[in-house]
């Protein structure tokens, strides 16, 4: 398959060797009362990408492609949360504290679940990650290798934190990565714009960019 409108140039992919990776579309970042809000962010901005992401997810499922969902999540005993992460800054609640959606950023809590609109279905992978990047301490690379995956299409939040970190990790591991601009969002619009630009600059130094409708047109 060929996505002719991708930037900075066409993105060729084989559906059987490509996974759609949705980063951290969990309540913690998108709904009030979660980790994103404890950091002082206006979380209402992020919900805007849900319809476009839902459309891509439906089309990808229809086409039969592999779907990977990630969640930024820590074990209940916080043994996988470095103090440097937990103690950084002055959030209103820290990771592991009790919040309105359960313990902040802890696996199994209500706030840690993928939002209903994008809920995983049987056969889709759900990867809990303790870091910002999806490849750190998750075994994701080994699973993708075992499945023969060479290309990754990314969406999710936030663009310049967990999405960009994951794309850079993937790029260094040899994957050809595409970012769907209308399926990713940041609490800081200027950071999203800069991340999108820097990813595709210098001849796709980190990867390609395109929109959901452009990807869906390539799938049909």
Residue 213 CB neighbours (<10 A): 15
Cβ-contact 28, 104 below 8 angstroms: yes
Whose Cβ is closer to ligand TIU: residue 63's or residue 107's? 107
Q: How far is the CB of 42 from ligand TIU (least distance, A)?
A: 12
Nearest distance in Å: CB 84, ligand TIU: 14
Specify the residue, 39 or 219, whose C-beta has the smaller distance to ligand TIU. 39
H helical segments located in 64-188: 83-86, 140-146, 164-172
Residues near ligand TIU (CB under 6 A): 24, 29, 39, 72, 132, 157-158, 161-162, 187
Beta strands in 140-207 (DSSP E): 151-157, 176-185
Residues involved in catalysis:
24, 129, 162
Helices (H) and strands (E) in the chain, counts: 8, 10
Sign of CA dihedral 85, 28, 212, 3: positive
Distances (CA, A) of 220 to 3, 59, 81, 161: 11, 9, 43, 32
Query: Rounded to the nearest whole angstrom, what is the least distance from the CB of residue 122 to ligand TIU in the complex?
Result: 25
Dihedral angle at the C-alpha atoms of 110, 87, 198, 157, nearest 10 degrees? 10
**Minimum CB–partner distance for residue 145 and ligand TIU (Å):** 24
Measured from the CB atom, the residue of 15 and 126 that comes closer to ligand TIU is 126
Alpha carbons within 13 A on the beta-carbon side of 119:
5
Residue among 18 and 112 whose Cβ is closer to ligand TIU? 112
Compare residues 6 and 157 and give the one whose CB is closer to ligand TIU: 157
CB of 184 to ligand TIU, least distance (A): 10
Q: Which residue is nearest to ligand TIU (CB)?
A: 162
């Amino acid at each position: 398959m060929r996505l002719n409108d991708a930037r900075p140039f066409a993105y060729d992919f084989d559906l059987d060797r490509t996974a759609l990776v949705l980063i951290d579309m969990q309540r913690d970042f998108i709904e009030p009362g979660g980790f994103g809000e404890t950091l002082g962010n206006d979380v209402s901005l992020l919900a805007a990408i849900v319809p476009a992401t839902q459309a891509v997810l439906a089309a990808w499922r229809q086409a039969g492609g592999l779907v990977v969902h990630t969640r930024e999540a820590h074990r209940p005993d916080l043994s996988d949360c470095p103090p440097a992460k937990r103690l950084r800054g002055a959030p209103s609640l820290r990771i592991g504290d009790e919040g309105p959606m359960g313990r902040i950023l802890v696996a199994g809590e209500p706030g840690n679940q993928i939002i209903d609109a994008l809920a995983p279905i049987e056969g889709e992978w759900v990867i809990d990650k303790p870091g910002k990047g999806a490849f750190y301490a998750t075994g994701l690379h080994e699973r993708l290798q075992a499945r023969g995956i060479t290309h990754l299409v990314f969406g999710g939040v936030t663009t310049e934190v967990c999405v960009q970190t994951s794309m850079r990790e993937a790029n260094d591991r040899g994957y050809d990565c595409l970012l769907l601009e209308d399926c990713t969002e940041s609490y800081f619009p200027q950071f999203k714009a800069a991340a999108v630009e820097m990813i595709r600059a210098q001849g796709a130094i980190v990867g390609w960019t395109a929109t959901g409708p452009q990807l869906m047109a390539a799938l049909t």
